[in-house]
Structure 1
Amino acid sequence: MQLLRFTTAGSVDDGKSTLIGRLLYDSKSIFEDQMEAVRKSSEKKGLDHVDLSLFTDGLKDEREQGITIDVAYRYFATPKRKFIIADTPGHIQYTRNMVTGASTANLALILLDARNGVVEQTCRHSFIATLLQIPHVVVCINKMDLMDYSEERFDEIVKEYTEFAAKLNVKDVRFVPISALHGDNVVNRSDKMSWYQGETLLHMLETIHIGNDKNLIDCRFPVQTVIRPHNDEHHDYRGYAGRVAGGVFKPGDKVLVMPSGFSSTIKSIDTFDGPVQEAFSPMSVSMTLEDDIDISRGDMIVRENNQPKVIQDLDVMLCWLHEQGPAMRGKYILRHTTNEVRTMIKEVLYKVNVNTLHRIEDDKDIKMNEISRVRLRTTKPLLADAYNRNRQTGSIILIDETTNETVAAGMIL
């Protein structure tokens, strides 16, 4: 079954957690004991209905304040697809949490309150979704029950968002009017909005085409480790294990090992369940080659006629995740695919105002949750692609050398 990862984003109290609770509840993905626990929590809060947001707001602070703080991952499946949901916070001080939750998503669910329309948070989350190259955006116009299920209000918000999205690089935007509280157009079609002839939200999630989202052109195989069993059955076996980051590999393909530049041919591709005739992202496999070449962790197997850039000076869009900002010319550990190098922040080019999309060039003091364009210099070359071409080989993280904490996530331009 195909797996769809999606993230929810929106302003505070737009109903993200309630929507996910409704999706799980109406698709029969909640166990009876979970339902009972949420029912009791709702009664304690003095509510006369079951608060579906409590399915995802698991932290004590979240329940008390009625807000989402951390990224909550939820898993469910229908007969057509498996899903991983990242419920991300709406508050501006949790931008880093949203970036973390959205970094692996195929689709972004952006919630709007029908009473408020497009607000600052909507613009911010839409910008971050496009920055992270999420291919599909579904705009859920929630709380339609509070606007008497008005078609005119729905059309106004669609027009407003479409005008804003024209400034962004969004490939696929869809709109659906819903009421997460009452379940209208979430899993079941609403009889109160007969004017809406489109799909329900769940049907959209089940049928949206994600097969072309992965890069199947540029063959990239970062090597994680070398497998040498040293047993009688596999006495001479030497396999290079890792996860395919792009393209399609097949036995018999001519390949190049970087950075050494030696070429060879794929002898076999093995998995835990046995040999396969092709490997593509995100499969984890072990490759054997016809020639004995010195290959180790951090090397990359690619096609001879399609190679990544070999770069030491990187232009990166950086989201700062740590309370303490970066030191100019500060040194960090940079992780990229299976490679690890030391790096230095050479220059901050500008910061981005994520609400207006304007560049801030006169203030280069980076604080937590801020997004900026910086120039890095690494101690040895990286084998990288631009992030908008390949999300795996175009992303990096920075780690503080002294504390070993992840301080930033970046997208190579």
Structure 2
Amino acid sequence: MTSTTEPTETLSVEQLSATTLLRFATAGSVDDGKSTLVGRLLHDSKSVLTDQLEAVERASASRGQEGPDLALLTDGLRAEREQGITIDVAYRYFATPRRRFILADTPGHVQYTRNMVTGASTAELTVILVDARNGVVEQTRRHAAIAALLRVPHVVLAVNKMDLVGYAEDVFGSIAEEFTAYATELGVPEVTAIPISALNGDNVVEPSAHMDWYGGPTVLEHLETVPVSHDLAHCHARLPVQYVIRPQSAEHPDYRGYAGQIAAGTFRVGEQITVLPSGRSTRISGIDLLGRPVDVAWTTQSVTLLLEDDVDISRGDLIVPSKDAPPTTQDIEATVCHVADQPLTVGHRVLLKHGTRTVKAIVKDIPSRLTLDDLSLHPHPGQLAANDIGRVKVRTAEPLPVDSYADSRRTGSFILIDPSDGTTLTAGMVGESFASPEPVRDESEDDGWDF
């Protein structure tokens, strides 16, 4: 993410792409201590307001606890506090002198894995917790697989509750070795393992006095120093159109602007652009940002583009530089994480939402499902159940301009929606794969839809 202030003439795009903001998510199994870690991180970095801490102390005392339960700083829903588990994704904003942070504390219960997908979808780093007593479990492997699919560039393995295993180095080493080998096989580019005790604060913000055998960074130190770069100069610029602005005013009687948030890259006045899926081209005559004209705008800024020609554009269209236009297609193959309770089946009629465009679609094939234990592929399972990860082939009623997820996390992703009630069924990443062999299409599954 980049700053949303207007660039100065002396700064290059490369300089503007540098950021002091880190988006990260936490994940782990139930009772691994995610919320306690987040609470400890906020508390020890002095990012908790006095009234917040007092509220937590009162809630903890009412439950008969001697000290404040720092997990309550993120478990904000009443149901969460009563059950002692995290259900919703809790977002927290905090800062240190070295960096600003947006944190997503995601649920650990397998039932709420879908929320981990939400929390990690925009993260640049994921902290995966493991209970030192239990080691790597199925939910750990599932979270690692999701982090790999979502192409989260940095993964931290936080081996928690080290105080309950006597701060033993060999316990930490064994867990770190097993997880790193598994994550590497998934394609995770970087794993940093840190032994911690969130309850006691060991290696969270301050180095632990109980683990002198560990010479690496604390969790906060790693969060503050991990490199985060977004080279906007080499991104393919994308603007999904959200709204067409036609103000009725005497001052601007002919104003027509196309508004939206830039999903990737940079747009400049005078640049030739193409509108997809129609394929019509023109040039940018102006860019309005926060009511002021600017010459350049970049990722995450909400802008209005003015065009030289009167082109037919509506919500759901995608504006791209003509030299970097993605192909349009009605056949999409992707790796997905199924998040709904009802299964996804071959022949399932769905709505596919890509950017700001929603179209009718049908699931034509489910070539494989991933087995998390050994990363083997179960061919043609016929359906995906809740929390399953697999490959799907989808046929859309209208052509869509899609990027590979490897090139753009925003325009290379989509969701499948139940048309009957609007329930989100599946989150998909275009082109992502666990190196599965190309499956053979079973033509007997064709249901005769003419998409």
| TM-score of the aligned structures, taking structure 1 as reference length | 0.93
* Counterpart selection for 2:181 from 151, 158, 163: 163
What CA deviation, in whole Å up to 9, does each residue of 1:10-58 have, x standing for no partner? 1222110100010111122222222222222322333333211122223
User: For 1:230, what is the secondary structure of its paired residue?
Assistant: coil
* Counterpart selection for 1:102 from 107, 115, 120: 120
Which residue is 2:297 aligned to?
A: 279
Q: Does 1:37 align with 2:52?
A: no
For 1:153 and 1:407, the matched residues in 2 are separated by 39
* Counterpart selection for 1:260 from 275, 278, 292: 278
Q: How does 1:89-168 map to 2 (within 5 A)?
A: 89-168=107-186
Ranges of 4+ aligned residues in structure 1 off by more than 6 Å: none
For 1:113 and 1:302, the matched residues in 2 are separated by 46
8 Å Cα contact 1:216/1:280 also seen in 2: no
Which residue is 2:9 aligned to?
A: none
Which residue is 1:60 aligned to?
A: 78
For 1:48 and 1:256, the matched residues in 2 are separated by 63
What percentage of aligned pairs have identical amino acids?
52
| TM-score of the aligned structures, taking structure 2 as reference length | 0.85
Superposition deviation, residue 215 in structure 1:
8.7
Superposition deviation, residue 117 in structure 1:
2.8
* Counterpart selection for 2:203 from 177, 181, 185: 185
CA 1:213 to 1:195, structure 2 compared with 1: closer, same or farther past 3 Å? farther
For 2:414 and 2:270, the matched residues in 1 are separated by 32
Which residue is 2:448 aligned to?
A: none
For 2:371 and 2:174, the matched residues in 1 are separated by 26
Which residue is 1:204 aligned to?
A: 222
Superposition deviation, residue 338 in structure 1:
1.3
CA 1:214 to 1:318, structure 2 compared with 1: closer, same or farther past 3 Å? farther
Superposition deviation, residue 197 in structure 1:
3.0
Which residue is 1:47 aligned to?
A: 65
Superposition deviation, residue 172 in structure 1:
2.3
Root mean square deviation, CA, Å: 2.1
Structure 1 unaligned residues grouped into runs of 5+: none
Q: How does 1:197-276 map to 2 (within 5 A)?
A: 197-212=215-230, 216-272=234-290, 274-276=292-294
Which residue is 2:449 aligned to?
A: none
For 1:106 and 1:301, the matched residues in 2 are separated by 26
User: For 1:167, what is the secondary structure of its paired residue?
Assistant: helix
**Equivalent residue letter for 1:385:** D
Query: How many residues are matched?
Result: 413
CA 1:171 to 1:22, structure 2 compared with 1: closer, same or farther past 3 Å? same
Superposition deviation, residue 192 in structure 1:
3.1
What CA deviation, in whole Å up to 9, does each residue of 1:174-221 have, x standing for no partner? 122221111122122333333433322112212222223779421212
Moved more, 304-313 or 316-325: 316-325
* Counterpart selection for 1:314 from 323, 327, 332: 332
For 2:380 and 2:398, the matched residues in 1 are separated by 31
Superposition deviation, residue 362 in structure 1:
5.5
